[in-house]
Amino acid sequence: MILKAMTVFAVFFLASYFTGLWADIIMLRLRSECTVLYRISFGGCVLIALGMIVCFAGSLFGASSTVCICIYAVIAAALTVAAVPAACKRKISLFPFVMPRFHVYDSLYLAVILLISVQIAGVFGYSFDNAGVLRGIPEAVKVFDSGVLAPADPMMLFTGSLSRIMNVHPLRFVHGCLAVPLILFYYLCTFEVIRVILPSDERRPVALLTVTLLAMWGYQSDFLLGAALLLKWYGIWVFVLFGLANVSAVILIRYLEMIPETVPVRDIEETEDEDPDQEEWDMKKHRIVNARNLAIALGVLAACLAASVFILNGKINRLYAATVNLQTDINSRCSIYEFIPESGQTEGYLITGSDGTVTFIGGGSSKNSGLLETFLDEHVNNINIWYIYGEDEESSGAMRALIHSGRVDPEKIYVIDREDVTGIR
Amino acid sequence: MIKELIWQIHNGHRELVGDGAILVLFVASLTALLFLIPVKTKKIIPLFLSVPATIGCAIAGFIKAVLDIRYSSKLYKALSVLLAAALVILVCTVSGRMVFSSDLAGKNENDLHMPAGIVAAGEEILAQSSDPKVLTMPGWGLYLKSLSSSFTLMYDDENGASSLDGDQMRVYEELLKDSPSMKKIAAFAHAEDCGYVVLSKDMWPERPITSYGYELIYEDDSCGVYREVMTP
């Protein structure tokens, strides 16, 4: 198993590195730089997306998982191999490593590494107290068991196909082989976005540290469980949120930066000869408190309020549901029912205790036995303790009839002495 | 009822943080990036794609802006180290305890990362039947289906109890009780031709299911597996 995990790790990052050469080519066209980390992020993203597409397409045509993985391997290998000459043709260095300069604030990266290590160690060493984490896994298990692909979550189809090829149960594959490469890969993707957004080096480690904390926060909500990197690193939503979205964001930012700023001719003419009023208006425009900023702030406030109302509404509904269920639970645990036959006179009481003990008092003569059996069928299965008012037919006939028919089997029967009770009063 | 309400309120802040934090943090982060940090307007549009990175950048920028009020390189360096230590301690003490269940970690000695009792129960059933029909506790079906696709569940509550039909809902509600009626559960299982029943050890039925045509074939601290008694 360790050998298989190491193979997955090595193959994934090596293939991602060379497939990522296409990222260099794209960045070259966008007149921007491409780091080694972005190369790996882009390559990994392409490889995973390709696997999902091939497996999902295979499921639509009813192909077997083995065939799909073979097709995937051929396409991935072709992409990887083709990237090398394409990069060399454009004079892109295959191994552009430079030693980074070390700053004191880079020590924060140690905290990031420590946190990620804690996450990975947790993934290996602990189980989760929420079965919902496994949602989606049955689809991968189905592929693993049968080898047939049916339309379902593409990520799970891909995972199931890989685990079948490697002959490892999907759960073992996810926890043993995928945890380390995927969690590291998603953090690489996130770091690349942070690097592009923040030009200043000193803020990057703090930003990455915040993201690692957020990744651990996701578990606090069932709604966000599917996108929690810590628990669902093998899920499609984590791939979309931490992989695809981040890699796409970097390309989009670079593309938008490439487009030159277009300044209208009229604006250029106006700036040449500005009057004092215009300058004053311009100052107002750039003040922190102006109409535009206020509108944005109000919009944000409105969004926060709407979210609060939505969340509180859900909370109140849950509280109501909990109260209703609790009342039902109490009713089902401890309750008293009155047995009234057709005569209209109360002939007995059924008491169910909070510990599940069922007690019956009375019952009457044997002519009540049929109605009493129906009454018991509605409420209980058996009676543990039975109190009767005497041993004669008038007081114990119904009980005797039910015992003889096998409907009830009381553990204890007590006879209440009417005279004693009357004497007390 | 009061105890339940207190429990709900106690957990409320966690769910509130989980459900609302990302939305509020994201909106606040975009606002912060607009006003606090000199991010070019063009970079704002792609930020909608990257929610965690946006929040991270905004918080980093905010911290930097606060520290810049009395900026000195030594202060920044010292605070950076302190901040890192504080964040790690926070994660290890608060989030870590909530995320990973130490209770399950002790019991979980298999590499499938599921409760060991259910794994053993599932393997025991698979050893006896290649296509078993199983009635089990609410929420446990996902474990069995994650173990093998051979299991056929008598009801599938993966999408919530609302997706169950009349009889399934009745037996589902019965299984949620502390003292369920095994007569009703066994009757449902017989009617559905269910060969195996996996029950939790936390239940206290008035009569065991062995009184209604099922025999115990496996048990441990957490669950018991019962097989339908077949008469020749």
**Axis crossing angle, helix A36-60 with helix A21-29, rounded to the nearest 10:** 110
Q: How far apart are CA A234 and CA A183, in angstroms?
A: 9
Nearest chain B residue to A113 by CA distance is: B88
Nearest chain A residue to B184 by CA distance is: A381
Least confident of A7-11, A77-81, B52-56: B52-56
Which residues sit opposite A133 in a β-bridge? Answer: none
What phi, psi does B215 have (nearest 5°)?
A: -115, 145
Select from A158, A125, A243, A179 the least CA-distant residue to A9: A179
User: Position of tokens 């169950």?
Assistant: B164
Asked if B51's CB is within 8 angstroms of A203's CB, the reply is no
Element (H, E) at B49: none
Provide the pLDDT for residue A51: 92
Percent of chain B's residues with pLDDT above 70: 59
Select from A280, A300, A103 the least CA-distant residue to A205: A103
Asked if A256's CB is within 8 angstroms of B46's CB, the reply is yes
Amino acid at B204: W
Nearest chain B residue to A201 by CA distance is: B60
Asked if B64's CB is within 8 angstroms of A206's CB, the reply is yes
- List chain B residues with CB under 8 Å of A122: 96, 99-100
Q: Contact, A365 vs A391, CB < 8 A?
A: no
Q: Kindly report the three-state secondary structure assignment for every residue of chain B.
A: CHHHHHHHHHHHHHHHHHHHHHHHHHHHHHHHHHHCCCCCHHHHHHHCCCHHHHHHHHHHHHHHHHHHHHCCHHHHHHHHHHHHHHHHHHHHHHHHHHHCCHHHHHHCCCCCCCCHHHHHHHHHHHHHCCCCEEEECCCCHHHHHHHCCCCEECCCCCCCHHHCCHHHHHHHHHHHCCCCCHHHHHHHHHHCCCCEEEEECCCCCCCCHHHHCEEEEEECCCEEEEEECCCC
Structure tokens at B30: 């975009």
Asked if B87's CB is within 8 angstroms of A209's CB, the reply is yes
Confidence of residue A255 (pLDDT cuts 50, 70, 90): confident
Report the half-sphere exposure of A135 (CA within 13 A, side-chain side).
Answer: 21
Query: Smallest CA–CA separation between A400 and chain B, in Å?
Result: 21
Q: Contact, B216 vs B157, CB < 8 A?
A: no
Res A99 pLDDT > 80: no
Select from B159, B156, B215, B205 the least CA-distant residue to B185: B205
Residue of B40, B97, B146 to mutate, testing the A interface (most A Cβ within 10 Å of its Cβ): B146
For chain B, say whether A178 makes contact (Cβ under 8 Å): no
Q: Where are the domains of chain A?
A: 2-95+105-258, 293-329, 335-424
Nearest chain A residue to B37 by CA distance is: A198
Q: How far apart are CA A257 and CA A289, in angstroms?
A: 28
The count of other CB atoms within 10 Å of the CB of residue B172 is 17
More confident residue, B153 or A298: B153
Asked if B101's CB is within 8 angstroms of A206's CB, the reply is no
Percent of chain A's residues with pLDDT above 70: 76
Distance (Å) of CA B4 to CA A4, A29, A311, A320, B203: 48, 61, 19, 11, 20
DSSP string, A124-178: HH---S-GGGGTTHHHHHHHHHH-B--SS-HHHHHHHHHHHHHT--HHHIIIIII
3 state DSSP class of A32: coil
Mean pLDDT of A291-297: 58
Q: Contact, A93 vs A188, CB < 8 A?
A: no
Mean pLDDT of B186-214: 84
Provide the pLDDT for residue B40: 60
∠ CA B213-B218-B223 to the nearest 5 degrees? 95
The count of other CB atoms within 10 Å of the CB of residue A117 is 10
- List chain B residues with CB under 8 Å of A221: 15, 17-19
Structure tokens at A365: 């003569």
Give ipTM to 2 decimals. 0.77
Asked if A256's CB is within 8 angstroms of B142's CB, the reply is no
Confidence of residue B97 (pLDDT cuts 50, 70, 90): very low
Helical H segments across A352-392, by residue range? 369-379
Percent of chain A's residues with pLDDT above 90: 14
Q: Contact, A62 vs A148, CB < 8 A?
A: yes
Select from A395, A387, A381 the least CA-distant residue to A359: A387
Least confident of A104-108, A247-251, B46-50, B82-86: B82-86
More confident residue, B17 or B212: B212
For chain A, say whether B83 makes contact (Cβ under 8 Å): yes
DSSP string, A309-341: HHHHHHHHHHHHHHHHHHHHHHHHHSEEEEE--
- List chain A residues with CB under 8 Å of B11: none
Least confident of A42-51, A298-307, A329-338: A298-307
Q: Contact, A409 vs A376, CB < 8 A?
A: no
Q: Contact, B143 vs B166, CB < 8 A?
A: no
Residue of B19, B99, B158, B162 to mutate, testing the A interface (most A Cβ within 10 Å of its Cβ): B99
Q: Contact, A50 vs A68, CB < 8 A?
A: no
Q: How far apart are CA B3 and CA A27, in angstroms?
A: 60
- List chain B residues with CB under 8 Å of A382: 206-207
Residues 6+ apart with CB under 8 A from A65: A55, A58, A143, A147, A148, A149, A157, A160, A161, A164, A165
Q: Contact, A13 vs A39, CB < 8 A?
A: no
Q: Contact, A386 vs A360, CB < 8 A?
A: yes
Question: Which of A142, A145, A246 is nearest residue B50 as measured by Cβ atoms?
Answer: A246
User: Position of tokens 């009770």?
Assistant: A421
Q: How far apart are CA B229 and CA B226, in angstroms?
A: 9
The count of other CB atoms within 10 Å of the CB of residue B167 is 15
User: Position of tokens 């008598």?
Assistant: B154
Asked if A308's CB is within 8 angstroms of B20's CB, the reply is yes
Provide the pLDDT for residue B96: 44
3 state DSSP class of B193: coil
Over the stretch A317-369, which tens digit does the pLDDT of each residue have? 676 666 666 666 665 667 788 888 877 788 899 998 877 788 999 888 888 88
3 state DSSP class of A276: helix
% helix / strand / coil in chain A, to the nearest 5?
70, 5, 25
Q: Contact, B179 vs A329, CB < 8 A?
A: no
3 state DSSP class of B196: strand
Least confident of A147-156, A193-202, A396-405: A193-202
Provide the pLDDT for residue A124: 78
pTM of the predicted model as reported, rounded to 2 decimal places: 0.70
Asked if B204's CB is within 8 angstroms of A193's CB, the reply is no
Asked if A197's CB is within 8 angstroms of B43's CB, the reply is yes
Provide the pLDDT for residue A52: 92
Question: Which of A108, A218, A330 is nearest residue B84 as measured by Cβ atoms?
Answer: A108
As a whole number of Å, the end-to-end CA separation of chain A is 80
Select from A152, A249, A241 the least CA-distant residue to A195: A249
State CA A78 to chain mean position distance. 35
For chain A, say whether B127 makes contact (Cβ under 8 Å): no
Structure tokens at B11: 């957990």
Chain A, 368-397: which have a CB under 8 Å from a chain B CB? 380-382, 384
Res A266 pLDDT > 90: no
Residues in chain B: 232
- List chain A residues with CB under 8 Å of B17: 217, 220-221
Provide the pLDDT for residue A70: 92
Chain B, 19-78: which have a CB under 8 Å from a chain A CB? 19-25, 27-28, 31, 33-35, 37, 39-40, 42-43, 45-47, 49-57, 59-61, 63-64, 76-77
Least confident of A421-425, B37-41, B179-183: A421-425
- List chain B residues with CB under 8 Å of A303: 23, 27
In which region does residue A12 sit, left (phi positive, over 0), alpha (psi from -120 to 50) or beta (all else)? alpha
Least confident of A174-178, A227-231, B140-144: A227-231
Q: Kindly report the three-state secondary structure assignment for every residue of B3-47.
A: HHHHHHHHHHHHHHHHHHHHHHHHHHHHHHHHHCCCCCHHHHHHH
